[in-house]
A and B are shown apart, each in its own frame.
Chain A
Amino acid sequence: MMPFELPPFLFFYLAGALVLFTSGTPRAVLMLLIPVVSAVNLWLTPEGSYGQLAFLDLQLTLHKVDRLSILFGYLFHIAALIAIIYSLHVRDRMQQGAAMFYAGSALGAVFAGDLLTLFVFWELLALTSVFLVWARRSERSYRVGMRYLIIQVLSGLLLLGGIILYSREADSLSFVEIGLHGVYGWLIFLAFGIKCAFPFFHNWLTDAYPESTPTGTVFLSAFTTKVAVYALARGYPGTELLVYIGAAMTCFPIFYAVIENDLRRVLAYSLINQLGFMVVGVGIGTALSINGAVAHAFTDVIFKGLLFMSMGAVLHMTGRINGSELGGLYKSMPKTTVLCIIGAASISAFPLFSGFVSKSMVMSAAIENDYPWIWLMLLFASAGVFHHAGIKIPYFAFFAHDAGIRTSEPPVNMLLAMTIAAALCVTIGIFPEVLYQLLPYDTGYNPYDATHVLAQTQLLFFSALAFVWLNLRHMYPPELPSVNLDAEWCYRRLAPSVLQRITGVVVAANTALRTSAAKLVAWVLAYISRHHGPDGLLARTWPTGSVVTWVVVLLAVYLSLSLF
């Protein structure tokens, strides 16, 4: 059946290798062609397991296609193609090559049939993506990349530890539902959780994504976290803990997003917020909620990619990304403004845009399965995401006060990529069946009933009203150049300080110990030299006569002892 049924990562790895040795038009053609060829190959591959091989005693499956993995497969092809178009102008072998390897690793992970293969691609995701962070080639990006890599590799190690324990319990390593059983269940859960940016493990994302290049961030935002959502959906569907974790993920980042100045970091926080909806969907575990989770992953990659692309275009053209330095760009970048607003409307889940048709499934599932408080949190997060991603991003970049920047529209390829993404957002929003027929379950869900449309529109318009009201009353917090403390403070500030203290104490103790030891040695030397030195008691030369006297005394004592 060759040449079909090839695992998609092969195409991307091949492209990645070729990109390193080509340039100019051939490289552009190659990079554009590969996702298309690979997608056709995937389309022609029937469901089933391929590429099975025995490694030691283990049965590995390199390529397993089912309804869940194929959805993510198509999604990653679309995301890769859009991001490749967006980055066509880039002349940087390392970045282009790393991007292809990174996309390939994500595809390898979602089609991995067993846990060991998953682990290999899990680590490759980390190793290939860090080059996109380093691609800015600044001291700052080097540091950020190292932190990112350490956390990602840590996730991989936890996964490996979990797999080793799992292999003792289970007969095979095939990647099926794992659940929170035993130590292995928790280890693998934690590994997935780190990559999925669970609360307290989320700062690698807000740290690294905004530090990448304008094009690199578009790649980064698409793959790593969505692979983690896929892994959770496969390994831990219906795990109730996920509902609460997910709800927390939807709520806490929006507070940070409101006060964050770097607009790409605002988007990184809102990425965690969107992941929260997916995690809640996986946690509820019904057909509708799982459908909602993966559908939301699908739409999120596209609209979040669109928003990152529009902010990347702003950064590319103006060299600035802080809300405090931007404003009034709609005058010189009207097309980018419109495209950004389409992305903003989609993430805010306006009816007729893509976020609406996917997020509403998770919301409906939450209320139907008797999670009213969770539902209220999700509703609050929906209003909040509109507030910070839907309004704040376009407002501070393109409107607000005119910062006096006069530039032009970004290169054609950037505009084209954004247009494709925007077209997909609107298409999925108007014709949700296109997406629904790809979902794992058939639930017959219809998002467009009057109740739902009215409720969501009311929610969003009054959120907008709140923004306008706060602005008119001058109560809206201004954009300020600042750093906001987050969980990362623990490892960027607390741990180094504690380590520094401990090092200080150890160094002091070491010095004290060595000084007193030196004093002791000096005293011993003095003592010995007093007795054994030239004039010491024990080194004195004694006359023979006195020695004989002492011997006689000794013998006399022996004699007297032997008498009794």
Chain B
Amino acid sequence: MNPEKPHFFDKPANVRFVIRALFACCVLLLALDFVIHRHVYHSWENLWGFYALYGFVGCVLLVLVAKWMRTFLMRDENYYLRREQAADRDEQQSGGHTDDAL
């Protein structure tokens, strides 16, 4: 069996390169805030790097809150299925009629 040829992201150097490119883009975009004068609709936008900050903080909060939500929202994969199947079994066993008092 031939070993598979390594793919792009199999090399850690390539992964590092992509991440560094992203960092460089982020720095460049922030720097552009000095050069390009945005026309502003709302006072919040006057804050330097408002969109960058909002995007970063918003996403970190999103993930952390979602992670926290798992503590009370997460159930196992068959949570609903088990009960539905149990209900079906009960119905089949009793033949749909429970009228057996008297």
Contact = CB atoms under 8 A, between A and B. Distances in A.
B87 A461 contact: no
Contact of B64 (A380, A383, A475, A507): A475
Contacts of B22: 461, 464-465, 468
B54 A383 contact: yes
Given A463-B59, A464-B22, A454 B73 contact: no
Contact of A399 (B9, B45, B64, B79): B9
Interface string B15-28: 00001001101100
A468 B55 CA distance: 13
Main secondary structure of the interface of B (DSSP, over half): helix
Contact of A258 (B29, B41, B53, B62): B62
Interface string B60-102: 1011111101101111111111011001000000000010011
**Chain B interface residue count: which class?**
35 or more
Interface string A447-477: 0001100111111111111111110100111
A225 B55 CA distance: 28
A254 B87 CA distance: 33
Interface in B41-60: 41-42, 44-45, 49, 51-56, 58-60
Contacts of B66: 255-256, 258-259, 477
Contact of B58 (A256, A463, A470, A480): A463
Interface stretch (A153-161, A305-313, A508-516, A550-558): A508-516
Contacts of B38: 450-451, 454-455
A387 B79 CA distance: 27
Interface string A491-503: 0110010000000
Nearest to A503: B98
B76 A454 contact: no
A367 B42 CA distance: 8
Given A383-B58, A451-B39, A461-B25, A259 B83 contact: no
Contact of A380 (B4, B26, B44, B58): B58
A524 interface: no
A140 interface: yes
A486 B69 CA distance: 11
Contact of B101 (A140, A480, A511): A511
B41 A507 contact: no
A470 B54 contact: no
- Majority secondary structure of chain A interface residues (helix, strand, loop or mixed): helix
A44 interface: no
B76 A458 contact: no
Given A255-B69, A468-B19, A477-B66, A482 B55 contact: no
B13 interface: no
B95 to A, nearest CB: 15
Contacts of B80: 483, 492-493
A464 B26 CA distance: 9
Given A259-B66, A451-B39, A477-B70, A457 B29 contact: yes
Nearest to A367: B41
Contact of B29 (A384, A461, A511): A461
A483 B19 contact: no
A545 to B, nearest CB: 48
Contacts of A175: none
Contact of B76 (A455, A475, A482, A507): A482
A370 to B, nearest CB: 10
B11 interface: no
A462 B69 contact: no
What size tier do the contact residues of chain A reach?
Answer: 35 or more
A411 interface: no
Nearest to B8: A330
B36 to A, nearest CB: 5
A383 B55 contact: yes
A57 interface: no
A331 interface: yes
Interface string A416-437: 0000000000000000000000
A496 B83 contact: yes
Contacts of B79: 483
Contacts of A368: 41
B51 A515 contact: no
Nearest to B79: A483
A298 B29 CA distance: 30
Nearest to A466: B59
B58 A259 contact: no
B30 A458 contact: yes
A28 interface: no
A276 to B, nearest CB: 15
Nearest to A364: B41
Nearest to A262: B77
A492 B39 CA distance: 50
Given A465-B23, A477-B70, A458 B36 contact: no
B29 A140 contact: no
Given A259-B70, A458-B49, A462-B26, A476 B41 contact: no
14 contacts: A258-B67, A330-B9, A379-B54, A399-B9, A451-B39, A463-B59, A465-B22, A476-B63, A477-B67, A482-B77, A483-B77, A484-B75, A493-B80, A518-B102
For the complex of A and B, 4 pairs with smallest distance between CB atoms: A466-B59, A462-B55, A258-B66, A459-B55
